[in-house]
Structure 1
Amino acid sequence: MCILFIGVEQHPDFPLIVAANRDEFHARPTQPSGFWQQHPKVLAGKDMQAGGSWMGVSKQGKLAALTNIRAPGQERSDAVSRGELVMDFLAKDYSDDDYLKRLSSKASEYNGYNLLFGQLDDLQVYNNFEDSVYPLTNGVYGLSNANLNSPWPKLDLGRSELAKYCQQTSDLNIEHLFDLLGNNTKPEDEVLPQTGVPIEWERRLSSIFIESPDYGTRSSTVLLLDSYRQVFWQERSFDAHAKLIDQQTYLFKLDTQ
């Protein structure tokens, strides 16, 4: 998962809005989102190469989503796959505090990442490079391949559009959120971040929706939590030509038992 836009208590009917894109090499095998056979209360996509996930939600009201930190000079070939973190939190009976302690104790085993995790009404972001945690209070957030709310053009654009949309509409239309996730506008070179990759890659990765033959946006996901504790989830998958190839939609009420 490479970019998330999160609205906490920004809409009268939806206390939580998450709009997210997963960017990955097109050759990496992937299973679309669904409830896992071995974890029937967890809804998530599956990375068939390493076995983990990039984003998921449970019927008990837990959410986890992962973004990699772009730091090419600090990548380790022997690091543990970051995708296991999502399923580890969702499928096991950790409290948020216990899982945070676990993340901190194992931070050095992974390449750089941010993990959004917690209960749907009490989320936080952990950064393993800084060993830091940031609770998400009311507001609009953007998370990509650096720190939370880093001043990257695509993060500023997405946060602004999500905030504006929440303020202007009473009836939320998910198509507007997917339009946000589908924005392929590339900023000028002078405002691009400098993350250590060649300028050609900075340009390629600079838009919210990434299009290229070998690497790009594989899926877009919208998650909504409404005032009745009902979760709406829709994932749309794309091929290497940015064509829609699959759609998964789920609606369920949280299990509070």
Structure 2
Amino acid sequence: MCTLTLAWQVFPDAPVVVAANRDERRDRPSEPPTRRGSDPWIVAPRDAEAGGTWIGYNEAGLFVGITNRWRAEARAERSRGRLVDDALQETDAEAAARLVERSVADHDYDGFNLVVADATGAYLFEWDGDLRKIRLHPGVHVVVNSGAALGGGGAVTDRFVTPEGDGAERAAEQMANARAVRAELTPEPGEDAASWLDRAGDVLADHEYGVCIHEDGYGTRSSSLIRLGDEPTFRFAPGPPCETAYRTADANADADESQL
């Protein structure tokens, strides 16, 4: 499971704020976030096994992040991380959304939930053999493998997929965790983006919420805290946040220069 929490158009000082845990096999190699590429440059970690990334932003202020999603047919040839990399080449959320639609038409992918967001637009894509595009309202949204607990728009909505067989109980547990995270991360009166991110980091590390995973050979491999606005920041913990400190990625250093 992965957990991606997006506070979109919640804070005047930062229209896009993200707190996310990545859960993966412990032996899957990855590299920490660095600035790479140009026109646009992006700041993102890298999946050293399949290429691409699972989370990042670019110089235009576009955020893209992905979680897995249950799908009956698995092991598609093209990595979902490549799709995130491709979307990060776009200039805004609208263009990134069109790119996702074209790419799913042209390639097959394993199931995913994918979020694209910038200061003016935010979308959730669900792909499990059928592609669904959901425009997000301002608010706090929590995406996990089994669906999403969406806030904003004067209401809360659960988008929930139930796998067949043994996965149903685990999927229900994931959604309960997502609802708990969303409730806990309701912004407090007068709270700014930096304070909210500090709280979000604590929630991602708190085993009470079930989103910091420790299993045999599998678990939470890293955690990301991202704020996009006048002064973008990417704080990254290269291990489970319950035992690993966040460090700030240098958006001015390229992959060869980064000391993260």
| TM-score bin, normalised by smaller chain | 0.7 to 0.9
Q: What is aligned with 2:109?
A: 110
Aligned positions of 1:242-253 closer than 5 A: 243-244=243-244, 247-250=247-250
TM-score by length of 1: 0.77
Aligned positions of 1:18-37 closer than 5 A: 18-36=18-36
| 1:218 pairs with one of 213, 216, 221 | 221
Tell me: CA distance 1:120–1:67, structure 2 relative to 1, closer, same or farther (3 Å): farther
Q: Aligned partners of 2:34 and 2:40: how far apart in 1?
A: 9
TM-score by length of 2: 0.76
Matched residue type, 1:212: E
Structure 2 residue 212 is the aligned partner of structure 1 residue 209: yes
Q: What is aligned with 1:255?
A: none
Q: Aligned partners of 2:109 and 2:4: how far apart in 1?
A: 21
Q: What is aligned with 1:77?
A: 75
Tell me: CA distance 1:61–1:15, structure 2 relative to 1, closer, same or farther (3 Å): closer
Q: What is aligned with 1:146?
A: 146
Aligned positions of 1:7-22 closer than 5 A: 7-22=7-22
Q: Report Cα offsets for 1:65-89 as digits up to 9, x if no partner.
A: 1110034xx1423432111111011
Three-state SS of the structure 2 residue aligned to 1:238 is coil
Q: What is aligned with 2:121?
A: 122
Q: What is aligned with 1:49?
A: 49
Cα displacement (A) at 1:162: 1.1
Three-state SS of the structure 2 residue aligned to 1:159 is helix
Q: RMSD value over aligned CA atoms? A: 2.6
Matched residue type, 1:116: V
Q: Aligned partners of 1:242 and 1:167: how far apart in 2?
A: 23
Q: Aligned partners of 1:148 and 1:213: how far apart in 2?
A: 26
Aligned length: 224
Consecutive unaligned residues of structure 1, counting only runs of 5 or more, are: 187-206, 253-257
Q: Aligned partners of 2:63 and 2:245: how far apart in 1?
A: 25
Q: Report Cα offsets for 1:152-184 as digits up to 9, x if no partner.
A: 111011111111xx2244344233121011121
Q: Aligned partners of 2:251 and 2:36: how far apart in 1?
A: 16
Three-state SS of the structure 2 residue aligned to 1:9 is strand
Displaced runs of 4 or more, over 4 A: 37-40
Q: What is aligned with 1:167?
A: 188
Q: Aligned partners of 1:118 and 1:15: how far apart in 2?
A: 9
Q: Aligned partners of 2:91 and 2:140: how far apart in 1?
A: 29
Cα displacement (A) at 1:235: 0.8
Q: Report Cα offsets for 1:27-58 as digits up to 9, x if no partner.
A: 00010011125777110000000011000100
Tell me: CA distance 1:120–1:22, structure 2 relative to 1, closer, same or farther (3 Å): farther
| 2:205 pairs with one of 159, 165, 182 | 182
Consecutive unaligned residues of structure 2, counting only runs of 5 or more, are: 150-157, 161-174, 253-260
The percent identity for this pair of structures is 26
Cα displacement (A) at 1:245: 6.9
Q: Report Cα offsets for 1:186-240 as digits up to 9, x if no partner.
A: 6xxxxxxxxxxxxxxxxxxxx11111241111111111124xx32121111116x
